[in-house]
Structure 1
Amino acid sequence: MENFPVVDMKNLNNEERGATMEKIKDACENWGFFEVVNHGISIELMDSVERLTKEHYKRCMEERFKEMVASKGLECAESEINDLDWESTFFLRHLPVSNISEIPDLADDYRKVMKDFAVELEKLAELVLELVCENLGLEKGYLKKVFYGSKGPNFGTKVSNYPPCPKPELIKGLRAHTDAGGIILLFQDHKVSGLQLFKDGHWIDVPPMRHSIVVNLGDQLEVITNGKYKSVMHRVITQTDGNRMSIASFYNPGNDAVIAPAEALVKEDESSKVYPKFVFDDYMKLYAGLKFQAKEPRFEAMKAIDGPIATV
């Protein structure tokens, strides 16, 4: 845990920039995850997001979750549950079109705060994409352009609560998976842990830190970097006490964005292209049914889809 990469973003603007970029590079190559502090999102805004998210769960979702648990008899489970997660969630879409005003049960102040938070997270996601471009030697704006497609990127947030679970050895908060998309930004509970990533044959805790944002890389960046950076298997384990808040925002390519290894990262020999070329929406349709399985067969399946890709 003490080795988990934590990046102080303010050092990008001083004599520590070189070392900070190197730390990001190492995290992308060897972890698939890192945690950022001094990221430019105000502490006041983050505190409001946390308070209102927890209030909303108590008011609107806790009872529903308890009813679901009772209806499925989960508290009496005697063997491992492999087909569902111990989580209470709802989704917000920000781009290309926001649906925040349409989500029922959200208090007006919560709606406003989540809109403001999304604006800040979008900026941070685009900054991270730029830093990744710089480290990879790609031209400025390359990843943002690839993600853009014809209508701009997809950007949305999954708001989750992981309530106390009586049988953490049998029920996962969220089963192991890699994320399908691009850059994921996570604002997680600083008191209740649970997020783990798989590295070197072991599950490693992602340390909860107050006011930090956890960054992880999705499958699309593995493809674009031709495997130089990898998306990493991760999961949420349940706890017997404490309700863990998790707000994960996904900055993903647009539906019609064409994803392929960046030419600048592929040697002139075409055989060094390890990953397929595909339309993002086609990948997402495949991922929907295979989320909790290994990613490699998904990439192989996309290779098998033959024929030219129409580009705009």
Structure 2
Amino acid sequence: MSPALVLEVQTICKEDELVESHKYHKGVKHLCERGLTKVPRKYILPALERPLLSKKDGATNLKLPIIDLAQLQGPDRIHALESLSKACEEYGFFQLINHGIASESVLEMIQAARKFFELPFEERSKYMSKDQSAPVRYGTSFNQNKDRVFCWRDFIKLNCHPLSDVLPFWPSSPAELRQAVVNYSKGTKSLYLMLAKAILESLGLVETEKNIDENDSCDLLKEFEDGSQLIVANCYPSCPEPDLTLGMPPHSDYGFLTLLLPDEEVKGLQIQHEGRWVTVEPIPNSFVVNVGDHLEIFSNGKYRSVLHRVLVNPSKSRISIASLHSLPFNSMIRPSPKLVNDANPRRYKDTDFATFIQYMASHEHKNKNFLESRRLSQLGDA
């Protein structure tokens, strides 16, 4: 074959790949709506990265530590703080009960998200954007511009702070979505602030209720009150070959805390615990809360973000709602000076959201690779 002909064939192949890849940028829901009996090659993971769905592995379920918000707010707060600290250290996850958010607000949020994903593709696609800082963004996979293999997920991300600025950009259809997200975001933000204060206490950064210095506490919590919030509704359509792909690959969350409302009827969340992938058993009327990369940095490694992933289901679609919280977008995240000493030297570089977004735009998000990029090669060497 002549060099000119080889070049022509290579060019045609690359063009075909681009056309094929662009088709998947429209999302899994779009593919499924057009009829799908097999998982397309773009979604098939290498053999060693696929989930093991044998009966033996499927039976490996995990009941996470339970934190009772009522106990955290009651006379036994010190004991509850000890349980919270242990959960953050040993699991990086816990289930929160008695959270106080009205069941109507939770149900309305789930129903509004489900209705959004049921809209025609032409309506959903209005919110597709490559701008990761956009006030609203509809997309697929994890990072559809960089992912080598796409994951079986579509999402709608809504920036929730400040609400008055971002609300006009949110979808106006379905009609109930905006109000449902406003109510839900206010409830989860209040819940997050209670947990953030408890975490600061558990780390010894503010005094417990009995001896608290209100000025100290207010100064430290002010930045959390002004912090970022992102509501992400995830849709994982039923998958004809769930053993070949994942709803989300192994990853850690980049923020401070994530409050996840899991699908109570369709399990799928797995965390890596003691070297194994285990399926989380959701408790009705609870949140699954996990430590993010920013909290690992802030705690100087005392509390660790943990790898988690999402399985897909062969017969049922799955909806989950994540509320991701951290410090303000322009804040610098660094280890708390009170947690750095000779015995526990500084372990991470300073970071901010701009650094994270820049990293995400140029790298495939995999495992804890962003956090690893912020880890100091020599402890104590900033």
329, 347, 363: which is aligned to 1:255?
329
* Larger of the two Rg values belongs to structure: 2
Contact 2:261 2:287 in 1 (8 A): yes
Per-residue CA distance 1:196-223 (angstroms, 9 max, x = gap): 1111110111222222111111111111
Distance apart, 1:161 and its partner CA: 1.1
Higher percent of residues as strand? 1
Partner of 1:88: 154
Contact 2:230 2:323 in 1 (8 A): yes
The CA distance in 1 between the partners of 2:320 and 2:344, in whole Å, is 41
What code does the residue aligned with 1:258 have? Answer: M
1:61 to 1:212, Cα distance in 2 relative to 1, 3 A: farther
What code does the residue aligned with 2:353 have? Answer: F
Distance apart, 1:90 and its partner CA: 0.9
Matched, 1:276 2:336: no
The CA distance in 2 between the partners of 1:242 and 1:300, in whole Å, is 40
Secondary structure at 1:259's aligned position in 2? coil
Secondary structure at 1:272's aligned position in 2? coil
Matched, 1:234 2:308: yes
Distance apart, 1:270 and its partner CA: 9.2
1:170 to 1:286, Cα distance in 2 relative to 1, 3 A: same
Secondary structure at 2:160's aligned position in 1? strand
Paired residues, number = 286
Per-residue CA distance 1:134-164 (angstroms, 9 max, x = gap): 000003356644557xxx3221111111111
Secondary structure at 1:18's aligned position in 2? helix
Partner of 1:76: none
The CA distance in 1 between the partners of 2:104 and 2:279, in whole Å, is 27
Per-residue CA distance 1:173-212 (angstroms, 9 max, x = gap): 0111111111111111100010111111101112222221
Matched, 1:157 2:223: no
Partner of 1:21: 81
Q: TM-score, normalised by structure 2?
A: 0.68
Q: TM-score, normalised by structure 1?
A: 0.82
Task: Give % identity.
Answer: 29
Q: Name stretches of at least 5 consecutive residues in structure 1 with no aligned partner.
A: 66-80, 308-312
Q: Name stretches of at least 5 consecutive residues in structure 2 with no aligned partner.
A: 1-60, 126-146, 207-216
Per-residue CA distance 1:16-52 (angstroms, 9 max, x = gap): 4333222211111111111111111011211222223
Q: How does 1:88-167 map to 2 (within 5 A)?
A: 88-97=154-163, 98-104=165-171, 106-139=173-206, 140-141=217-218, 144-145=221-222, 147=224, 152-167=226-241
**Over the residues paired in the alignment, what is the CA RMSD in angstroms?**
2.7
Contact 1:185 1:249 in 2 (8 A): yes
1:143 to 1:159, Cα distance in 2 relative to 1, 3 A: farther
What code does the residue aligned with 1:132 have? Answer: I
Distance apart, 1:106 and its partner CA: 2.3
Distance apart, 1:271 and its partner CA: 7.5
Matched, 1:205 2:279: yes
